[in-house]
C-alpha cells in the first residue's frame, strides 16, 4: 500500500481525478485511509512531471466521499512467483 494522492474533483465521465504523488499501475485497487475500497485506477494522464490519475469509482456516493477529503492509497496487486 502506498499513498496515491488527494482527490480533486469528479470528471464528466464520473471518474475521480487525483493529483498523483506516486505512479500506480493501471488496474490497481484504490482505498481510503480506513482500507475501504474506493475504485480502480483507470488511466494516468498529464505531463510526466506532475501526472494525474483517473480512478473509476466502485462506490455509489462519490460526491459525499469528496466532501470528506483525505488521501487515497493504492494497493499493488499480488505478483505470482514463478518457479523454474
Least confidently predicted of 22-26, 37-41, 49-53, 60-64? 60-64
Q: Which parts of the chain fold into alpha helices (H)? A: 62-68
What one-character DSSP code corresponds to residue 66? H
pTM of the entire predicted model: 0.84
Band of pLDDT at residue 62, cut at 50, 70 and 90: confident
Name the strand (E) or helix (H) holding 43: strand 37-45
Query: Which range marks the domain in which residue 35 is found?
Result: 2-75
Residue 71: inside a domain? yes
Residue 80: inside a domain? no
Give the contacts of 16 (CB within 8 A, at least 6 positions apart).
Answer: 7, 9, 10, 38, 39, 54, 55, 57, 62, 66, 72
**Bridge partners of 48?**
none
Task: Domain count for the chain, please give it.
Answer: 1
Mean pLDDT calculated for residue range 53-78: 83
Amino acid at each position: 500500500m502506498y499513498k496515491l494522492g488527494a482527490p480533486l474533483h469528479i470528471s464528466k465521465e464520473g471518474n475521480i481525478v487525483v493529483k498523483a504523488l506516486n505512479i500506480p499501475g493501471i488496474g490497481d485497487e484504490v482505498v481510503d485511509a480506513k482500507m475501504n475500497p474506493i475504485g480502480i485506477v483507470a488511466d494516468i494522464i498529464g505531463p510526466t512531471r506532475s501526472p494525474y490519475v483517473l480512478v473509476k469509482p466502485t462506490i455509489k456516493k462519490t460526491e459525499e466521499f469528496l466532501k470528506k477529503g483525505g488521501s487515497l492509497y493504492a494497493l499493488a496487486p499480488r505478483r505470482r512467483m514463478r518457479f523454474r
